[in-house]
Structure 1
Amino acid sequence: MVGLRAFYRFNPELSTQAQIHVGGFNVGSRLSYQATLTLNYDLSENFSLTAGYKMLDVNYRRSGQIFDAHLSGPVLGLSWRY
């Protein structure tokens, strides 16, 4: 897999993050990727809320088995940093 991540802080509490990972290349699967874009809000030094959208696509074919799926939808999270 090859990945790229970008992070930008708008102000001390609000930030955004984008990630993309691409893999497979006919080694494990023909092609797979995932992409995520989130908006993050720091509630305190230790807690933050996250809301965003994620896409996941996998194309696997080997020995007669096929797994070809595309999943996407919203993501919500609460992070605790210690």
Structure 2
Amino acid sequence: ASKWQWLRENDSTSAAGAAAVRLPHDFLTERLAGVAATDPGDASGSGWYSTATGAYDPELLELLGLDAALLPEVAPTG
């Protein structure tokens, strides 16, 4: 969450033009498997996913100006 906020504040053009927001390993997974997915543990590390609700936090995303459609699907592990 803090890195996205930094990007919006310091390079708003890049933030506004983002086609997707991924953690590095999620980017690699998408490139190798063709699926934009992450797991709940990794998603919660981003700060904008709640393991309690099992979803991205819409209030936090709104505060950050981040469209949930840019984020990977969260899939269960196993």
Where relative contact order (Cα < 8 A, 6+ residues apart) is larger, the structure is 2
Q: Find the structure with the greater CA-based Rg.
A: 1
Considering fraction of residues, name the structure with more strand. 1
TM-score bin (small chain): under 0.3
How high is the TM-score relative to the length of structure 1?
0.23
Considering fraction of residues, name the structure with more helix. 2
How high is the TM-score relative to the length of structure 2?
0.24
